Structure 1
Amino acid sequence: MIPVCRIDDLPEGEAVRITVDDHTPAIAVFHAEDGGFYAVDDLCSHQDASLSEGYVEGCLVECPLHAALFDLRTGAATCLPARRPVRTHEVAVIDGVLHVRPAVREDAVA
């Protein structure tokens, strides 16, 4: 798991963007309004826009470019113009530090 930040450093309703390596897409880590922490691919599935710069509403993030909504819990696109989901990543809090385990890319080769 990759350490992101202390949970106290990510206010509710905010997000942080992390990069893992040159082969893994950037990840947006959110502190949702339900108090939960969620991580999804940072790139909107509709068009190139950073979801970490979007607007958090409950457990949804609104893309800042065309207002598509994504459920942070499942990655599902909940309204147009987005039709495809974004990938979710495992999140854990360990000793007050937020950690993310990037999901394995489906097209990755062993």
Structure 2
Amino acid sequence: MMEHVADVADLEPGEAMRLELDAPDGSPLPVALVRDEDGDFHAISDICSHGQVNLSDGEVEGRTIECWLHGSTFDLSTGRPLSLPATQPVPVYLVTLDGERVLVDVDATADVSA
């Protein structure tokens, strides 16, 4: 289900923010809403698959985000780790823009197996 999580003006290119959304089972789901340097929006798990820390506190570079603790970078489109020590991808969620509203669907994840 699409949920209005922010407005376009809430994030500048190169910024990220932490969201706490409801998972399909109703449990809290930490999500990082990221606006890459090109201005595109992405939603990924806010928890690094290696260090269990918030990715939203990391550095956005191009179309990647770097974990602040150990330096792993993740592709914002696929969730795949691009550098060690992380070896496991993080979930990526569907983002849609409705005018100035940013919507995220945590029920729809990207297929990162390709």
Higher share of residues assigned strand: 2
Q: Which runs of 5+ in 1 are unaligned?
A: 106-110
C-alpha contact (below 8 Å) 1:88/1:103 kept by paired residues? no
C-alpha contact (below 8 Å) 2:94/2:108 kept by paired residues? no
- 1:82 is matched with which residue: 79, 86, 93? 86
User: Which residues in structure 2 correspond to 1:1-110 (within 5 Å)?
Assistant: 1-21=2-22, 23-103=27-107
C-alpha contact (below 8 Å) 1:15/1:31 kept by paired residues? yes
C-alpha contact (below 8 Å) 1:5/1:98 kept by paired residues? yes
Please tell me the residue identity of whatever aligns with 1:103: D
Q: Aligned partners of 2:39 and 2:6: how far apart in 1?
A: 16
Q: Which runs of 5+ in 2 are unaligned?
A: 110-114
User: What is the root-mean-square deviation in Å for CA atoms of aligned residues?
Assistant: 1.4
CA offsets, 1:26-74, max 9 Å, x none?
0001000122100100000001110000000000000010000000010
Partner in structure 1 of residue 112 of structure 2: none
TM (norm. structure 1) is 0.89
State the shift of 1:25 in Å.
Answer: 2.3
The percent of aligned pairs where both chains have the same amino acid is 39
Task: Kindly tell me the number of residue pairs found equivalent between the two proteins.
Answer: 105
Please tell me the residue identity of whatever aligns with 2:99: D
TM (norm. structure 2) is 0.86
